[in-house]
């Protein structure tokens, strides 16, 4: 009986995301060495996203999917339609802060493999040549989302919490809005730390960590902290939408878009980390 109980506990305590998926990067399949362990099973954290209407791609926007590609609609611009405002999920009522953090991570992991694109919603897939004045990955067709639209969408869909998807505004938020009630909740600002070890001590999974570029003091990037829930252990992980210029543990180039990435002391992430914001709990 003890062995059965131990096995059941292992199933409950260890949830590992798949680490292999096809990448649109030279036609090669990228096999990530990273995974995530969560304190609750994913089907318990996001059943409404896995099987319910809340998780349907066609419901990501304020508009019906049939109108996502209408140039004439005032809600459809170069970055596609604006996101739907998800109400707080009933299954999150009364749950602990750690459970809510795990739900956020589980929500975010559903989008691993999506490309880096300047879109408001992950599943907007414009045809080739769709007008977008901003250069870079934005001009390519295909599903995807950029860093701050990713973080904003994940909290919106995961917990019904809304905040700006503009990177500069997001980095400066002091409160977030609960959809449906318009209640304002305070966030916690976590100042810059002087080492990877210090960041690992103060951050919790689901925290948003903001990064400055080398050439500017202005924040230009945001990641979701995975921290001690990352695998293998011994090094913190982050989850973000980024270009294809970061290498993994094995020296392989991680494709562009939404992937788990290492938070190494010599990385741009660590050397340029500016501050963090905690949305859930204190």
Domain residue ranges in the chain: 2-278
Query: In sequence order, which residues have a C-beta less than 8 Å from that of residue 51 and are 6 or more positions away?
Result: none
Q: d(Cα 144, Cα 150) in Å, to the nearest integer? A: 9
> Whole-model pTM?
0.89
Instruction: Show pLDDT as tens, one digit a residue, over the chain (282 residues).
Output: 333 332 233 333 344 554 433 334 333 488 999 999 999 999 999 999 999 999 999 999 999 999 998 877 777 778 899 999 999 999 999 999 999 999 999 999 999 999 999 999 999 998 876 755 555 444 566 899 999 999 999 999 999 999 999 999 999 999 999 999 989 999 999 999 999 999 999 999 999 999 998 767 799 999 999 999 999 877 899 999 998 889 999 999 999 999 999 999 999 999 999 999 999 998
- Which of 3.30.1330.10, 3.40.50.1580, 3.90.1720.10, 1.20.210.10 would CATH assign to domain 2-278? 3.90.1720.10
User: Residues 222, 211: contact at Cβ < 8 Å?
Assistant: yes
């Amino acid at each position: 009986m003890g062995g059965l109980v131990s096995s059941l506990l292992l199933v409950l305590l260890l949830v590992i995301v798949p680490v292999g998926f096809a990448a649109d990067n030279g036609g090669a399949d990228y096999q990530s060495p990273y995974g995530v362990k969560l304190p609750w099973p994913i089907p318990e954290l996001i059943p409404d996203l896995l099987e319910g209407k809340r998780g349907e791609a066609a419901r990501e926007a304020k508009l019906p999917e049939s109108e996502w590609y209408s140039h004439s609609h005032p809600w459809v611009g170069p970055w596609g339609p604006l996101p739907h405002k998800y109400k707080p999920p009933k299954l999150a009522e009364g749950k602990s802060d750690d459970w809510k953090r795990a739900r956020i991570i589980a929500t975010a992991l559903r989008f691993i493999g999506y490309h880096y694109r300047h879109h408001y919603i992950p599943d907007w897939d414009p045809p080739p040549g769709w007008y977008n004045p901003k250069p870079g990955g934005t001009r390519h067709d295909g599903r995807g989302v950029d860093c701050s639209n990713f973080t904003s969408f994940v909290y919106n869909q995961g917990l019904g919490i809304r905040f700006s998807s503009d990177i500069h505004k997001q980095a400066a938020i002091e409160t977030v809005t609960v959809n449906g009630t318009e209640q304002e909740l305070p966030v916690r600002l976590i100042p810059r730390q002087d080492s990877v070890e210090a960041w690992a001590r103060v951050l919790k999974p689901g925290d948003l960590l903001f990064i400055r570029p080398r050439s500017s003091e202005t924040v230009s990037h945001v990641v979701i902290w995975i921290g001690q829930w990352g695998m293998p252990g011994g090094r913190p992980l982050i989850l973000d939408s980024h270009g294809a210029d970061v290498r993994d543990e094995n020296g392989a180039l991680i494709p562009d878009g939404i992937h788990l990435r290492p938070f190494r002391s010599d990385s741009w992430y660590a050397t340029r980390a500016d501050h963090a914001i905690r949305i859930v709990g204190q």
